[in-house]
């Protein structure tokens, strides 16, 4: 079955420190991976997608098919990065159905 | 566009009562999704529609849950009878499909349901 695992429910770092939010998936085909973010009192929104190979708000994520991972990284965390982060998988090649991980709550301390 | 609109934002009800959650997708989006968010299980897909037709309802927990999409601009998620374990935040999301599809879902603000 298709599954997305985010092993850390909570992650706390200090401002300026590097941050990595882990995401592993299980799917035998060619997945499309996404990171969504939910800031306090805001809607869940797309942060980035692996096919775009983009950097958004300093965050990057590389799809590692060998390790079936899609970890989200930022070299220098900011307080405004504090939010709930969800990794998501689209596995039907063009289907809009997304399976989400359980999320990681990131807190960036001053 | 105001984005995906959900109502009510908050609902407190007693066990056994019927609950109806409503969603208006973004105009022009032809896919609509209902998700449930809890601390324990995260975001779970309940059901999704494409062009008003239910495509996958495998996430609907049981017969107490039902969803409809009578037209392109409105959907409901109904729980009857409600139980305390249904307490969660219910999100509606929409997206364009076909050539417009990028993998991005546009979420509403959610409906927080508390069943006492």
pLDDT in tens, B28-82: 998 999 999 998 888 999 999 999 999 889 889 888 999 999 999 999 999 999 9
Chain B neighbors of A43, CB-CB under 8 A = 3, 107-110
DSSP state of B15: T
Say yes or no to pLDDT of B97 above 80.
Answer: no
CB contact under 8 A, A45 and B107: yes
**B-chain residues near A48 (CB < 8 A):** none
With a cut of 60, say whether residue A95 has pLDDT above it: no
pLDDT surpasses 80 at A39: yes
Please tell me what DSSP assigns to residue A61: E
Do B74 and B52 meet the contact criterion of CB atoms below 8 Å apart? no
Q: What is the mean pLDDT of the segment spanning A52-76? A: 90
In eight-state DSSP terms, residue A64 is B
- Contact yes or no for B42 and A45 at CB 8 A: no
Query: Residues near A55 by Cβ (< 8 Å), separated by ≥ 6?
Result: A48
Rounded Cα gap, residues B111 and B11, in angstroms: 7
How far is B15 from A106, CA to CA, in rounded Å?
A: 34
Output the six-digit token pair for B49: 């529609």
């Amino acid at each position: 079955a298709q599954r997305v695992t985010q092993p850390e429910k909570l992650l706390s770092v200090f401002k300026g420190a590097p941050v990595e939010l882990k995401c592993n998936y299980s799917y035998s085909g060619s997945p499309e991976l996404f990171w969504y973010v939910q800031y306090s009192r805001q809607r869940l929104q797309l942060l980035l997608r692996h096919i775009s190979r983009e950097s958004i708000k300093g965050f990057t994520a590389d799809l590692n098919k060998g390790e079936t991972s899609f970890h989200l990284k930022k070299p220098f965390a900011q307080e405004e990065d504090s939010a709930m982060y969800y990794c998501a998988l689209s596995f039907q090649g063009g289907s809009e159905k997304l399976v989400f991980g359980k999320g990681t709550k990131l807190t960036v301390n001053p | 566009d105001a984005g995906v609109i959900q109502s009510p934002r908050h609902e407190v009800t007693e066990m056994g009562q019927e609950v109806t959650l409503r969603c208006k997708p973004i105009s022009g989006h032809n896919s609509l999704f209902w998700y449930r968010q809890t601390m324990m299980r995260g975001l779970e897909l309940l059901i999704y529609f494409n062009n008003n037709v239910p495509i996958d309802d495998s996430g609907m927990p049981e017969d107490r849950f039902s969803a409809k999409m009578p037209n392109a601009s409105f959907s409901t998620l109904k729980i009857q009878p409600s139980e305390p374990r249904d307490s969660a935040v219910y999100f509606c999301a929409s997206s364009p499909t076909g050539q417009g599809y990028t993998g991005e879902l546009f979420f509403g603000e959610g409906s927080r349901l508390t069943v006492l």
